[in-house]
Amino acid sequence: MKILVTGGTGYIGSHTVVELQQQGHQVVIVDNLSNSRGEVIDAIAKITGIKPEFYQFDLTDAEKSKQFFKSQPDIDAIIHFAAYKAVGESMAEPLMYYRNNLDSLINILQGMKDNGISRIVFSSSCTVYGQPDELPVKETSPVKEAWSPYGNTKQMSEQILKFACDAYALQVIALRYFNPVGAHESAQIGELPMGVPNNLVPYITQTAIGIRPRLMVFGNDYSTPDGTPVRDYLHVVDLAKAHVTAVERLQTEAQKMPYEVFNLGTGTGYSVLEVIRAFERVSGLKLNFKITARRPGDIEKVWADTSFANSELGWKAVYGLDDMMRSAWKWEQALMQQKLPGRY
């Protein structure tokens, strides 16, 4: 298939492009590089031997988006990653989040409608569940009132897709990711947070390499086995492979329903302290960390029921927590060699 990957130079997008190319698909990337670097295109080419076609523009620009779709009449499917994703920033700048995440989706759906493209895989998030009443969380668990504008854009995007699916006879798969971490084994691509990271794993690796003096562990008074919050961490390469499976499911018309939702996680929850211990185990280092106050808005625990993705999508995560930490550490060390500006 010829697959449009929006946000394809980003963290999850770049890993997905690699897996798509390795399965013989042709990829076209659109990204405005608002949260990624153009060099990722060369890194992808180094891994796969194929340089993906790349267009740099903002998908919220309706006219540019229209022109793009006109110039690409043979797109078979879309994987839509492009979005802003920082929860805290979305609290401070809600309109920026609604505009970016919703306008870009609407422009893509318009492009699909106008050009007869019917297949789309969408990046959703476990954030749509908030703190679920029952664990592990199933796809049928209630979507609760959003805790952040970011989470709200994912809930609204899913609704927009559902109605568009019915109205325009689309085939849609929404993938609700839990906590993607780690990097490609080649250490050519990985997560590249701009400035101080919000997420746990890049904060750990940046602390270990000396960019940050100390990791703050946000609270150890939760109702969890060691008091620190529990999440379902998932290797980004496993996650990338799930996108290949999902888009091929659309191609082969294997869907049971035109609009489907799948949880993507490992099904196992780990606490913050367990993640730190895994990192120390694989790196052989002692991490400098300190327990501090809870981070406002953090939920206590969440992990996925992955049985629907395992049985129906035919996908299962294979990497464990140590693999995730090992690859994240290898990537951090590779990044250090590059001396990128804006990381310190």
Q: Which residues are catalytic?
A: 150
Residues that bind ligand NAD (CB under 6 A): 7, 9-13, 31-36, 58-60, 81-85, 100, 104, 123, 125, 177, 179-180
Single out the residue of 240, 248, 310, 298 nearest to residue 272, CA to CA: 298
2-6/77-80 β-pairing: parallel
298, interface contact from ligand NAD, ligand WQD, none, CB < 5-8 Å by kind: ligand WQD
Q: How far is the CB of 262 from ligand NAD (least distance, A)?
A: 13
C-alpha to C-alpha distances, 188 to 44, 185, 208, nearest whole angstrom: 8, 8, 20
Contact 304, 126 (CB under 8 A): yes
Smallest distance from the beta carbon of 57 to ligand WQD, in angstroms?
24
Amino acid at 18: V
Q: Which is nearer to ligand WQD, 111 or 229 (CB)?
A: 229
Please tell me the distance from the alpha carbon of residue 258 to that of residue 5, in angstroms, as a whole number. Answer: 20
Q: How far is the CB of 178 from ligand NAD (least distance, A)?
A: 8
Which one, 179 or 188, has the nearer CB to ligand WQD? 179
Of these partners, ligand WQD, ligand NAD, none, which one is at the site of residue 229 (CB under 5 to 8 Å by kind)? ligand WQD
Output the smallest distance, CB 185 to ligand NAD, in A.
Answer: 18
- For ligand WQD, give the closer residue by CB, 196 or 318: 196
> Residue 9 binds which entry of ligand NAD, ligand WQD, none, with Cβ cut-offs from 5 to 8 Å by kind?
ligand NAD
Rounded alpha-carbon distances, angstroms, from residue 219 to 89, 212, 226, 286, 295: 21, 19, 11, 20, 7
Task: Give the one entry of ligand WQD, ligand NAD, none that residue 82 binds, where binding means its C-beta sits below a cut-off of 5 to 8 angstroms depending on kind.
Answer: ligand NAD
266 binds, among ligand WQD, ligand NAD, none (CB under 5 to 8 A by kind): none
Q: Which is nearer to ligand WQD, 88 or 142 (CB)?
A: 88
Q: Rg of the chain's alpha carbons, rounded to an integer?
A: 19
- Annotate 293-332 with b (16+ C-beta within 10 A) or e (fewer): eeeeeebebbbbbbebbeeebebebebebebbbbbbbbbb
Q: What gap in Å lies between CA 64 and CA 77, rounded to an integer?
A: 19
DSSP letter, residue 133: S
Residues that bind ligand WQD (CB under 6 A): 85, 87, 125, 127, 179, 198-200, 203, 215-218, 229, 231, 272, 295, 298
Which residue bears the tokens 């309706």? 62
Q: Closer CB to ligand WQD, residue 48 or residue 263?
A: 263
Which amino acid belongs to residue 157?
A: S
